[in-house]
Amino acid sequence: MNPRALTLLFIRFLVGGSVIAVVSLISAHAPRLTGLLAGFPAVFLTALLFIHGFSGTHEARKFSSTAVYGMAGSVFTVLAVIVGLTVQWPWPLVVVVGAITYIGFVMVMVIRQKRLMAM
């Protein structure tokens, strides 16, 4: 791996890890604020930095335009988790339903995108 790739990987690790650490530390004192911090797009921003560093502006632009689907999937995942917790499902079931919701939404969007491109 070249030095530039290692630098980008380190930055990605640092940003993502820092966000998780901060959210974990704050959770005991301000649970509502923790939810807002958990929504910070650390994965998106670091992936964007990584893609731009390796593939340039054009690929970063394409990545950004499709990231909207992943972010919308996250919204649906949060809603599914809220519903599961509200009706008091067991915690493992809530996690599984949240994951299935996200994966299902993304799969529907990918299929839809392929159909649009085939037209």
Rounded-to-integer distance, Cα 49 and Cα 16, Å: 12
- Give the model confidence (pLDDT) of 8-29 as tens digits: 778 778 877 777 777 667 766 7
In 3D space, the residue among 75, 86, 72, 4 whose CA is nearest the CA of residue 35 turns out to be 75
Q: C-alpha angle with apex 27: 71 to 69, nearest 5 degrees?
A: 5
| pTM higher than the cut 0.75 | no
- Give the model confidence (pLDDT) of 77-99 as tens digits: 999 999 999 999 999 999 999 99
E strand or H helix at 21? helix 3-27
Cα dihedral sign, 75-81-83-86 = negative
